[in-house]
Structure 1
Amino acid sequence: MPDVLVLNPESNVAVATLWTKKEIVAGKLRELGVDGKVNIVGTLYTRYGVNYLLHTLSQHPEIDTVIVFGADLSGSGEALVELFRGGSPESLRLMWPLEELKPLLDAVRVLDLREAFRRGDYQALADAVNKSFSPGVRRQRLSLELKEVRASSWPVQVAGLSLVEEDVVRAWAKLLDAVMTWGFLKESEYGEKQKQVLGAQVVLYAEKALASSHRLSEFFPREELDRHVESLLRGVEGASYSYGERLRRHREAGDQLERLVSRLASSPSTRRAVALTWDFQVDPSSSDPPCLLAVQGDLSGGRYNQLAYFRSHDAYAGWPVNVYGLLRLMEHVSLQLSEKTGRNVRPGFLVVFSASLHVYEHDFARAREVVDRHRREFAAFVEDPKGNFLIRVEGCRIVLELRDQEGVLVQSLTGSSARELLSQLNLDALMPRHASYLTRELIRAEEALRSGREYVQDSV
């Protein structure tokens, strides 16, 4: 529904305030004594919202002037002005053909006062209203049916995606869902379209992910998975390259995997346990350079953590196989470290960073099938590695405690409202679902405090 205020339904003038609150502009019009000369005051947040503005105009034949006056934070005002000047903005996804809109575009004029708004010149707005006010003439009503345009691509390239999971198939399905929902449709170097998300990071509880990895056999033959593990750990003879060949027998660095293990065993605090697959003599001009560029190991608290960086990652066909191989690599390195240090080293976190995470067009349908099959699992509980919050009501205060995974107190806060406590937390650092849960529980605690009822965390 359009976000509008109706001031005088007989007027021929409307004001589009873009991102500026319509109430602020309406108040200024009232102060300047011209509010009675304006029919509608409404916001216009997005370019797509131009469709709803056009539909509103089609239903109000008395309006022949739209004044654009407000903060244009998304380019919606620019798109509106360009459209009524006879242009066809590429970023404007219209519900109707331009030919169908022509009678409306010809009959309504748009006055661009965005610069006046930037100067804070509300008098210029009042002057434009006075000059344009001429009620009484009605153009022919245009019948425009709202027909939602289903987006085939996110309009801009999305960057930044972070997941924490313990089940490898569920993580894969969530990634595919994200790419198919927010991916930007573009050409690939292979002449095929793809949907892409930049900067995707997945953190896996490695032991639990390994335990769940048998589920991958629903989608990939066990032989294929095992071959990938073998190629990662040892390399493949005769191949142009394999990750294992680059990790074990790199032209310049030699056996990087052995060096990674030895460095961690001799210096557990090191941040230099890094193996690179890139070969500067071959890869810059290669038509098939490695997608996995780096593997880094970390030894902390008796756990071997592993980080992997992919420059390019096929989310449907490559990600699950690659992750399975990396999990098995973690298993291998953990055993090697246990032998070398004489201590029990277990797999910790696997962090997979995909610079370009994408799904090719020929896999779109299959990707959606995976998502549809596993969507119900998305609600499964996954522990936030950043600990747990305990909430209770004491007297007239809410007590919020952050405790680590072993139950040790890290931070204690008190407040009288959910807002007060939430303002003291870095919610962006938490898993989104954890932040949502925490907000909901604090609101429940506040309601119990105000009503005098007993509050019990997780009692709903």
Structure 2
Amino acid sequence: MKFNYEVINEDSNIAIVTLWSSINQVKELLRDSIRFVSIIGNLYTPVGINYMITTLARINWIDTLIMFGLDYNGVGDLLIRFFRDGALDVLLVGKDIADSVRSTIKVIDLREAFKARNTDALIRVIHENYRPGRKPVRSLINTDINEQEYGSGWALPLVGGFVYERDTYRSWVKLVDLVLNYGFDKGDYRELITPLVVIDSMGKPHPFRRLSEVGLRDFEPPAELVNTLINELRVNPYSMGAVYYGGDYLVQGVISSDYYNQLVYIKSVDVFNDWCRQLYRWWSLAKRVVETINREFNAWYSVGSMALVPFSARIYAKDLDRAEEFVRRNSSVFSEFVEDPRGNFLVMREGDSVVVEHRLPITNALHRRFSFRSLEEAYNALKNSNHFTNYAHAMYLGKELARAFLLRDYEQDKL
């Protein structure tokens, strides 16, 4: 990460920070007065303030900093606080360097003038404070920033996350990784609130790579739970009333087409030590429901998808190191192919356009056809669409689209 800036007039003592606004936009507003500015640059984040400090430590004749731009996230307020009080939540340079810079620079806040498109106020301030000659106001300091990886839990408590899998072991690795990277540290555990994990076993006897059919029978679901679900489905297999509340969990089942699908809400789960047991427990329940219905009605249903939503998915602090090693040891699962149930994409060139055909799973029938004249057009059309179940599929299509627009003789998947 670097401080994004442009040098205009090295003799000037004035710097302009445009925050989130375009540098070129402000330059155009200034017209000829831009020649009185030494450097002009963006600032987006609190960490970026550190890079601004190192730039100003090196260009030691700048003594006036003007804020003129759109402040989306309040970073301008943090900049004001730093120059006023020396306070910066993430300080990546020596305090002596930070104090040397902030004590020798005057900050002029023109954010409101930018909102009002009052360019005259900016031009007036520039002319009033312009002092050419590169006269140093502090010692010249050349310093670099070597950011370290943030090793703790996520900075904010996050709600929501999604893992779609056809293999329970992969779901375990991916969920542990999700909580490790995006869980919030709360005392003796790291927590991610309400991730959704979908185990899709359509067309498979079961989704457990390390468990046989015999092993599944070791888990006996409570009779009351099984009977509550089956009694409702006996009356109407499409009923939405097959629900059981067990105190610390809630189960709901529904039949769609030839499949029994099941949702399980759990108050909390230790995803490192207890996730697989939970999967065995709830999938064996789904299997028992299906077997009972098939036996009673001479039906042909099978288990479709099982969704689990733990309100609190957690890894205890004592297990964090072992959990990280577990993910590292199983990193290969992230490269294993997971077919997207929302279909496939065929990419081809037609003249100067790139055509994308979205096709249904299993039958490969055409669902929708797109034609794009540019990569930007394709990006804008697909970036916020609901065509993807997993991130890998979206990344794959992005890679193939880039290749298709670059290569006249493009052929999908051919490297």
Same fold (TM over 0.5): yes
| Cα 1:45/1:362, change in 2 over 3 Å | same
Deviation at 1:408, TM superposition (A): 4.7
- Structure 1 match to 2:242: 273
Deviation at 1:396, TM superposition (A): 6.0
Matches within 5 A, 1:263-302: 263-278=232-247, 290=248, 293-302=249-258
After alignment, is 51-60 or 119-128 more displaced?
Answer: 119-128
Tell me how far apart the structure 1 counterparts of residues 402 and 205 of structure 2 sit (CA, whole Å): 34
| 1:35 and 2:22 matched | no
- Structure 2 match to 1:287: none
Deviation at 1:374, TM superposition (A): 0.9
Letter in 2 for 1:5: E
Tell me how far apart the structure 2 counterparts of residues 321 and 130 of structure 1 sit (CA, whole Å): 71
Instruction: Give structure 1 regions of 4+ aligned residues with deviation exceeding 6 angstroms.
Output: none
Letter in 2 for 1:294: L
- Structure 2 match to 1:205: 200
| Cα 1:414/1:144, change in 2 over 3 Å | closer
- Structure 2 match to 1:435: 394
Judge conservation of contact 1:17–1:44 (CA < 8 Å) in 2: yes
| Cα 1:9/1:356, change in 2 over 3 Å | farther
Tell me how far apart the structure 2 counterparts of residues 410 and 340 of structure 1 sit (CA, whole Å): 39
After alignment, is 430-439 or 386-395 more displaced?
Answer: 386-395
After alignment, is 163-172 or 405-414 more displaced?
Answer: 405-414
- Structure 2 match to 1:214: 210
Judge conservation of contact 2:15–2:65 (CA < 8 Å) in 1: yes
1:118 to 109, 115, 118: 115
Deviation at 1:353, TM superposition (A): 1.8
- Structure 1 match to 2:47: 48
- Structure 2 match to 1:388: 344
Tell me how far apart the structure 1 counterparts of residues 347 and 331 of structure 2 sit (CA, whole Å): 30
Letter in 2 for 1:82: R
Judge conservation of contact 1:416–1:446 (CA < 8 Å) in 2: no
SS at match of 2:265: strand
Matches within 5 A, 1:351-366: 351-366=307-322
Judge conservation of contact 2:344–2:359 (CA < 8 Å) in 1: yes
Deviation at 1:108, TM superposition (A): 1.7
| Cα 1:416/1:404, change in 2 over 3 Å | closer
SS at match of 1:407: coil
- Structure 1 match to 2:140: 141
Tell me how far apart the structure 2 counterparts of residues 164 and 326 of structure 1 sit (CA, whole Å): 16
Letter in 1 for 2:400: E
- Structure 2 match to 1:262: 231
Judge conservation of contact 2:234–2:293 (CA < 8 Å) in 1: yes
SS at match of 2:15: strand
Tell me how far apart the structure 2 counterparts of residues 311 and 178 of structure 1 sit (CA, whole Å): 18
After alignment, is 366-375 or 140-149 more displaced?
Answer: 140-149
- Structure 2 match to 1:164: 164
Deviation at 1:154, TM superposition (A): 2.5
Tell me how far apart the structure 1 counterparts of residues 14 and 361 of structure 2 sit (CA, whole Å): 61
SS at match of 2:180: helix
| Cα 1:428/1:186, change in 2 over 3 Å | farther
Tell me how far apart the structure 2 counterparts of residues 94 and 5 of structure 1 sit (CA, whole Å): 24
Deviation at 1:402, TM superposition (A): 2.3
SS at match of 1:49: helix
After alignment, is 1-10 or 438-447 more displaced?
Answer: 438-447
Deviation at 1:42, TM superposition (A): 0.8
1:106 to 97, 103, 106: 103
| 1:129 and 2:129 matched | no
Structure 2: unaligned runs, 5 residues or longer: none
> What RMSD, in angstroms, separates the aligned Cα atoms of the two structures?
2.6
| Cα 1:390/1:143, change in 2 over 3 Å | closer
Matches within 5 A, 1:209-248: 210-214=206-210, 229-230=219-220, 233-234=221-222, 248=223
SS at match of 2:141: coil
| 1:14 and 2:15 matched | yes
Tell me how far apart the structure 2 counterparts of residues 123 and 206 of structure 1 sit (CA, whole Å): 66
1:203-262: CA deviation from partner (whole Å, max 9, x where unpaired): 11236594435279xxxxx99x988x34xx13xxxxxxxxxxxxx5xxxxxx34312122
1:331-388: CA deviation from partner (whole Å, max 9, x where unpaired): 2222122123311211111111233322221111011011101112201110111112
1:308-336: CA deviation from partner (whole Å, max 9, x where unpaired): 12233322223232122112222222212
Deviation at 1:414, TM superposition (A): 4.1
- Structure 2 match to 1:78: 77
Tell me how far apart the structure 2 counterparts of residues 133 and 406 of structure 1 sit (CA, whole Å): 70
Matches within 5 A, 1:297-316: 297-316=253-272
Tell me how far apart the structure 2 counterparts of residues 388 and 44 of structure 1 sit (CA, whole Å): 40
- Structure 2 match to 1:369: 325
Deviation at 1:149, TM superposition (A): 3.7
| 1:458 and 2:404 matched | no
Tell me how far apart the structure 1 counterparts of residues 240 and 233 of structure 2 sit (CA, whole Å): 9
| Cα 1:376/1:342, change in 2 over 3 Å | same
- Structure 1 match to 2:191: 196
1:284-319: CA deviation from partner (whole Å, max 9, x where unpaired): xxxxxx2xx311112112111111122333222232
Judge conservation of contact 1:165–1:382 (CA < 8 Å) in 2: yes
- Structure 1 match to 2:92: 95
Structure 1: unaligned runs, 5 residues or longer: 217-221, 235-247, 249-254, 279-289
TM-score norm. by structure 2 comes to: 0.89
| Cα 1:61/1:396, change in 2 over 3 Å | closer
Judge conservation of contact 1:204–1:349 (CA < 8 Å) in 2: yes
Judge conservation of contact 1:213–1:324 (CA < 8 Å) in 2: no
| Cα 1:123/1:324, change in 2 over 3 Å | farther
Judge conservation of contact 2:360–2:367 (CA < 8 Å) in 1: no
- Structure 2 match to 1:350: 306
Judge conservation of contact 1:22–1:42 (CA < 8 Å) in 2: yes
- Structure 1 match to 2:174: 174
Tell me how far apart the structure 2 counterparts of residues 400 and 147 of structure 1 sit (CA, whole Å): 43
